């Protein structure tokens, strides 16, 4: 009996409405992230390895990497301005729901962001992912009709919360993350019930 109580004890019991600082979600249209997604999608091959992308996006690059950075910054003006435009739409939709979504994420997962700042980088392509487990970075782009940005971003933020707090295999954690997205979508009024859509799940 005693051990059961102990195992149930939680150090992170958050009450709704409690005055607590929420994570800072920063929206950006970053050429480097756009280039990363372009290579991932086979749109343009920069010949950069996954390890090097990780370094570049983490900003822990060395002198040799600087050349790549300059190369990328020189181009992609069109893609960058398309991303800026999309960023305005997404950021506006997010800001209307940010406080609720962040509070619900904490309430549902009982954990916090270890690094209280998350970058949400907008790309002008179809995208929704967390590229690296050790990086608090979300990539969001165009989403399918019928999907909403607040629950899509909530899904990706849940990935970051899980990466930072739990040691789970992708196959194990993804069903939980999907359920968190469903719950948030229902609370937002975006879906009438869990999995209330016909289009296949493309989120990763």
Binding site for Zn ion (CB under 5 A): 203
Q: Using the minimum distance from each CB to Zn ion, give the nearer residue, 72 or 158.
A: 158
CB 17 to Zn ion: min, Å: 29
Q: Where are the alpha helices (DSSP H) in the chain?
A: 2-8, 31-40, 50-58, 63-74, 77-95, 98-109, 149-165, 170-188
Min dist. Cβ of residue 147 to Zn ion (A):
13
Nearest-CB residue for Zn ion: 203
Nearer to Zn ion, 111 or 203 (CB): 203
Query: Which of helix, strand or coil describes residue 142?
Result: strand
CB of 84 to Zn ion, least distance (A): 26
C-alpha 7/C-alpha 188 separation (Å) is 32
Pairing of strands 117-126, 128-129: unpaired
Q: Given the complex with Zn ion, which of 186 and 203 has the nearer CB atom?
A: 203
Strand order in the sheet with 117-126: 24-28, 117-126, 137-142, 128-129
Residue 69 or 203 with smaller CB distance to Zn ion: 203
For 97, the token pair is 């729901």
Compute the least distance from the CB of residue 62 to Zn ion, in Å.
32
């Amino acid at each position: 009996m005693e051990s059961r109580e102990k195992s149930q004890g939680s150090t992170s019991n958050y009450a709704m409405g409690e005055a607590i600082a929420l994570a800072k979600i920063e929206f950006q249209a970053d050429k480097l992230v756009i280039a990363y997604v372009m290579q991932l999608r086979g749109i343009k091959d920069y010949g950069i390895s996954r390890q090097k992308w990780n370094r570049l996006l983490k900003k822990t690059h060395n002198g040799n990497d600087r050349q790549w950075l300059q190369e990328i910054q020189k181009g992609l003006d069109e893609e960058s301005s398309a991303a800026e435009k999309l960023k305005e739409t997404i950021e506006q939709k997010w800001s209307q729901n940010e406080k609720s979504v962040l509070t619900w994420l904490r309430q549902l997962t009982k954990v916090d962001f270890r690094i209280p700042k998350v970058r949400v980088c907008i790309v002008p392509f179809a995208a929704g992912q967390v590229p690296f487990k050790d990086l608090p970075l979300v990539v969001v782009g165009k989403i399918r009709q019928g999907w909403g940005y607040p629950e899509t971003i909530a899904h990706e933020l849940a990935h970051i919360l899980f990466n930072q707090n739990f040691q789970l295999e992708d196959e194990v954690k993804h069903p939980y993350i999907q359920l968190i997205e469903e719950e948030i979508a229902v609370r937002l009024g975006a879906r009438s019930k869990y999995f209330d859509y016909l289009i296949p799940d493309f989120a990763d």
